[in-house]
Amino acid sequence: MAFMTLTLFPIRLLFAAFMMLLAWPLAFVASLGPAEKELEQPLALWRKVVDFLLKAIMRTMWFAGGFHHVAVKGRQAPPTEAAILTLAPHSSYFDAIPVTMTMSSIVMKAESRDIPIWGTLIKYIRPVFVSRSDQDSRRKTVEEIKRRAQSNGKWPQIMIFPEGTCTNRTCLITFKPGAFIPGVPVQPVVLRYPNQLDTITWTWQGPGAVCISWCGLCPVSPQFLPVYRPSEEEKRSPALYASNVRRVMAEALGVSVTDYTFEDCQLALAEGQLRLPSDTCLVEFARLMRGLGLKPRKLEKDLEKYSERARLQAGATASLSGFAEYLEVPVSDSLEAMFSLFDESGTGQVDLREVVIALSVVCRPSRTLDTIQLAFKMYAEPEDGRLDEQALSRILRTALGVAELPITELFTAIDQGCQGRISFADFSQFADMYPDFAEEYLYPDQTQLESCTQTPSEPTPNGLCTDFSPNSTDPGGHPLRRKLD
């Protein structure tokens, strides 16, 4: 590696850059005119020539980058037969190889069109742009995909990565429904990187793009599976359609499937004041919430309404039917599973305040103080807005989805006046002064405080992003933990 870095790597890098520069004028001329215009059918000779040259140049660029052997299996269906190509597993930016081989359109953020040189190549394949500044962007994107998919081949095929993020290829995560909403036939495409040493996986916790490019010598094998034609039931249910296509692709790859999504990983790795432990049961809660059709964006808007209803019923509990009425969903197996997460004592009753806290964490995992403030409104006494140690313990255990927390020392450190009650202002001020208080107080093996007036010796500037896992093994200690244990 050291020898090749000094000798071959610079040559490869320069040659790959030259190929991209060579492709730019061709893509620039071919992309002139409105991007919204449909392609001529049949394609003009000049465009066929440009397509051929660009594919050859891009293949040469990938060869310079280390992909000497690209073994294509199966037959790519024409746009009239399958307007959408679904590709998985998505594990690296090297997955762009099938895009440049087929010159298919892709769905990508609108800002990409402004990237020098690369933006011109992107515009040539007529992508579906998604604007983050447009609140209706998701709806418009689905409508555009549907319009192109039903154009009878007048647009290039759209290649979609339905996982929506990069994984490590050990399984297929939940497919997003965008590719399946139009209800048209799709052609699954599976990707294999058969080298024994994995030098291409690029996930949010893996090596960076430069490191992967440096180590990236690897064969790749795209396989075009038979076109999947949806049934009438699948056309009515994009989620079912996506699930069935995922099953076909997983069988072809010889891997398993999982119902979890990237959003679950974001939840478990939330960069808030109280970073969630990796084994939090809130991930299971989020999965069940999706199964009930409860959308985080809508729930986030209604959190105040849910919290006010729970506050007015402070101390009261709800049965399964009341739980269903509260969430405005019918009773189902998924709802019963969610209900059991909160049914701590097995009496068939749950505290709706805990449900609101869990919903807040799932909807906004990085905004811990907002969740704590919401919880204070529900648990604190209306006269002075303060609560005791037991209430704080319940709030934090629910917010973290864990069984037990050693909360006494933390409460004592916050309660500087030894009044036995604290306000949200007290909690927020303490969190600002000592951002690492989770590491300092919520581990049972940390140094014990001697009095309620003693505070940490030195606040740290790193932010409260500690990943902690309580050591309690009590299976009945908390409603969001009991069933998972």
Among candidate residues 196, 225, 258, the one where a domain is terminated: 258
pLDDT at 453: 34
Tell me which residue has tokens 């690492």: 436
Instruction: Clarify whether residues 189 and 91 are in a common domain.
Output: yes
Instruction: Clarify whether residues 39 and 139 are in a common domain.
Output: yes
Q: Where are the alpha helices (DSSP H) in 292-348?
A: 296-301, 303-312, 320-327, 333-342
Q: Compute the distance between CA of residue 113 and CA of residue 108 in angstroms, rounded to an integer.
A: 9
Count CB neighbours of 210 within 10 A.
8
Instruction: Clarify whether residues 200 and 274 are in a common domain.
Output: no
Instruction: Say how many domains are in the chain.
Output: 2
Domain-embedded: residue 40: yes
Instruction: Clarify whether residues 338 and 475 are in a common domain.
Output: yes
Kindly give, in sequence order, each residue whose CB lies less than 8 Å from that of residue 454, ignoring residues fewer than 6 positions away. 413
- According to DSSP, the residues that pair with 129 across neighbouring strands are 108
- Nearest 5°: the CA angle 342, 343, 345 is 135
pLDDT at 224: 96
Among candidate residues 230, 258, 286, the one where a domain is terminated: 258
pLDDT at 207: 76
Q: Compute the distance between CA of residue 73 and CA of residue 420 in angstroms, rounded to an integer.
A: 70
Kindly give, in sequence order, each residue whose CB lies less than 8 Å from that of residue 42, ignoring residues fewer than 6 positions away. none
Q: Is 34 left (phi over 0), alpha (psi -120 to 50) or beta?
A: beta
Q: Could you please report the per-residue DSSP string of 246-284?
A: HHHHHHHHT-EE-S--HHHHHHHT--SSSPPPTT-THHH
Q: Compute the distance between CA of residue 68 and CA of residue 217 in angstroms, rounded to an integer.
A: 8
Domain-embedded: residue 192: yes
Sheet with strand 186-192: strands edge to edge: 128-130, 105-109, 158-160, 84-88, 186-192, 221-224
Print burial letters for 380-397: b (CB count within 10 Å at least 16), e (below 16). Answer: beeeeebbbbebbbbbbb
C-alpha count within 13 angstroms, C-beta hemisphere, residue 410: 25
Q: In the structure encoding, which two tokens stand for residue 451, read together?
A: 């009095």
pLDDT at 4: 84
Q: Compute the distance between CA of residue 129 and CA of residue 144 in angstroms, rounded to an integer.
A: 9
Per-residue pLDDT of the chain (485 residues), as tens digits, is 888 888 888 888 899 889 989 999 988 888 776 555 555 555 677 878 888 999 999 999 988 888 888 889 999 999 889 999 999 999 888 888 999 899 888 888 777 777 888 788 888 888 888 876 666 777 888 888 888 888 887 788 999 999 988 888 889 998 988 899 999 999 999 999 988 888 888 876 677 777 777 776 678 899 999 999 999 999 999 989 999 999 999 999 999 998 877 777 767 666 566 666 656 778 888 888 888 888 877 888 888 888 888 888 776 788 999 888 888 889 998 899 889 888 877 788 888 888 899 898 888 877 888 888 999 989 888 888 888 888 888 888 788 776 666 778 888 888 888 888 888 988 888 888 877 776 676 644 433 433 333 433 333 332 222 232 333 333 334 444 433 33
Instruction: Clarify whether residues 336 and 214 are in a common domain.
Output: no
Domain-embedded: residue 264: no
Q: Please, are residues 395 and 372 in contact by the beta-carbon 8 Å criterion?
A: yes
Among candidate residues 235, 258, 281, the one where a domain is terminated: 258
Q: Compute the distance between CA of residue 114 and CA of residue 124 in angstroms, rounded to an integer.
A: 13
- Mutual angle of helices 352-363 and 333-342, in 10-degree steps: 110
Instruction: Clarify whether residues 339 and 228 are in a common domain.
Output: no
Instruction: Clarify whether residues 329 and 473 are in a common domain.
Output: yes
Domain limits at 36?
2-258
pTM of the model: 0.69
Q: Compute the distance between CA of residue 411 and CA of residue 409 in angstroms, rounded to an integer.
A: 5
Instruction: Clarify whether residues 408 and 357 are in a common domain.
Output: yes
Closest alpha carbon to 326 in 343, 342, 340, 309: 309
pLDDT at 448: 40
pLDDT at 484: 36
Count CB neighbours of 452 within 10 A.
17
The alpha carbon of 375 is separated from its chain's Cα centroid by a whole number of angstroms, namely 26
C-alpha count within 13 angstroms, C-beta hemisphere, residue 375: 28
Instruction: Clarify whether residues 158 and 232 are in a common domain.
Output: yes
Domain-embedded: residue 265: no
pLDDT at 187: 96
Q: In the structure encoding, which two tokens stand for residue 171, read together?
A: 């399984």
- The DSSP call for residue 180 is T
- Give residue 288's identity as a one-letter amino acid code: L
- According to DSSP, the residues that pair with 105 across neighbouring strands are 158
Instruction: Clarify whether residues 161 and 105 are in a common domain.
Output: yes
Instruction: Clarify whether residues 340 and 466 are in a common domain.
Output: yes
pLDDT at 255: 93
Instruction: Clarify whether residues 199 and 321 are in a common domain.
Output: no
Domain-embedded: residue 176: yes
Domain-embedded: residue 339: yes
pLDDT at 459: 34
Pairing assessment for the beta strands 105-109 and 171-172 based on DSSP bridges: unpaired
